Amino acid sequence: MDLNVGKVIERAVRRDHMGISALSRKLHVSRRTIYNWFDQESLSFEIICKIGNAIKYDFSKEFPDDFARIDDEIGSNMNQFTNGDNSSPESFSSSVNYWMNKYIKLLEKYNELLSHKFPT
């Protein structure tokens, strides 16, 4: 059975105390847009999340596949980030020391150039 995303969202919105006009103002869209969303069989994950945040409703129970897919994407992005060259605290510390020493050397060169250009 295919799930009609628009109808599920409409049911959640209508159960909420906010109302269509208030929701449209909060999302910065027209009421017509919200009604059009209700008629859609599928909506982007971003729109689902925006509506959920606006009415403080968790759609993860209604759309577990979408939320699982996003969780997997976030997890893989986090793995790519943490498996980089700076994943361990030791390498992070050495990286900080490297850039700190580089900055100090450049600052010393800059001060030396200034002292030659503007002798005191």
**pLDDT tens per residue across all 120 residues of the chain:** 467 899 999 999 999 888 999 999 999 999 999 999 999 999 998 999 999 999 999 888 888 888 788 766 666 666 655 555 555 666 667 788 888 999 999 999 999 888 887 776
Distance of alpha carbon 104 from alpha carbon 15, whole angstroms: 61
Distance of alpha carbon 115 from alpha carbon 56, whole angstroms: 61
Global pTM value: 0.58
Q: Say how far residue 32 (Cα) sits from the centre of its chain.
A: 27
